[in-house]
Amino acid sequence: MTFLGGRRRKLRQRTPRGPSCPRQLQRFVIDRRAANGGLDDGTGNFRIDRSHDIVYNGVMDTTTDIDAMTDRFEDDIPLDIATAAHCGTSFVPEQRGAEEVAEYADRLRRDRARLQAMATPEAAAEFDAQFERYRQGFRKRAIAYLTAKSRCVSTMIAGPANFNARQAEKRGSSADKKNAELWDFRERAIKAILRSLGHVPYDVIPGGDNDAVPRLQAKISEAEDIRARMKAENEAARKDGKAAVWASYQFTNLGSNIRRMKDRVAQISHAQNMPNRIAIGSAARLEDAPAENRVRLFYPGKPEDDVRASLMSQGFRWTPTFGCWQAYRNMRSLEAAAKFAGITTEQGA
């Protein structure tokens, strides 16, 4: 007993808990959802594949020389934090920590190369600032994940004697949550950057398009055909005494999507028959164009810097064609436009 107790004390000294330990971390493995086919925008046009590379409209850019990039992304993650994340789960934590830093840097280099290649000439000037915001957010969440993982201990390292399995399970769940947050953030950030770079998935149907209604009706017809095939496959499986091929929740989700598209067809059809509405406010002239799915603000001069920043934060963009600030038409943009224009409730009515 004395020998075992002494061995445990030595083990604790050799493998301290917490982020100060110079070893530990499960590698930046792909999020569980990516293992089932990659992260997707639901349209098949933009996704992050199994290796977390960016694929847009089925094409992966390979024209940029990633090795020639000089960004020092390795400096974002302190090596001692990356190494500490493997302290309780690996026999070679220093090696695993170095691999983690290298993987992190390679991931950001690839993201930068892919996104930069997709930037339109008009949006290229803003790309550096957008990517830097993404980089800082990704770095913050990566360090949070590594710190959480550094508290995880495996029986392989600590030994089974007096091992607190419940505590280990809680710490593992916490690390898994941080890992999911990391990759969820990356997915959202890349989608946002792609939108700002002028890339809109082909399956997104803007309400202001002249052919919006027939395109939506085609999608509804396709979805209804899919639902009919699903029902037929389930019926055939029941006749053969087998389990249903499609679960009930899949029918529920598909039915909800069909109803949503039908509601949108009705909304767009109604909006296309509505006339434009103009209201004059104390600061600007507001033009509501339902048929074009746009709301516009015409200022007598150039707005102040803080006003322009607020406009952009609400989704408005300067449109040289009309000489105004324009946004997609929805309840949020209409309320914001009335506020920016200085229109009272009585005037709006």
**Residue 268: per-residue pLDDT:** 85
pTM higher than the cut 0.75:
no
- The tens digit of pLDDT for each residue in 157-207 reads 888 888 888 888 899 889 999 999 998 899 889 888 887 776 655 456 777
Mean residue pLDDT across the chain: 77
Q: Average of pLDDT values for 278-297?
A: 91
Question: What pLDDT, in 10s, does the model give residues 46-72?
Answer: 444 434 444 444 444 444 444 444 568
Please state, as a whole number, how many other Cβ atoms lie within 10 Å of the Cβ of residue 86: 29
Residue 262 has pLDDT above 80, yes or no: yes
Give the mean pLDDT of 318-336: 90
- The full set of domain ranges for the chain reads 2-196, 212-272, 277-348
| Stronger pLDDT, 195 or 44, i.e. the higher one | 195
pLDDT, tens digit, 9 for 90 and up, residues 216-235? 999 899 899 999 999 999 99
- Per-residue pLDDT at 297: 95
pLDDT value for 338:
92
Quote the pLDDT of residue 232: 92
For residue 81, pLDDT beyond 90: yes
Distances 57 to 49, 84, 113 between C-alpha atoms, Å = 12, 39, 17
pLDDT at 98: 92
pLDDT, one tens digit per residue, over 94-137 is 999 999 999 999 999 988 988 888 776 667 777 888 899 999 99
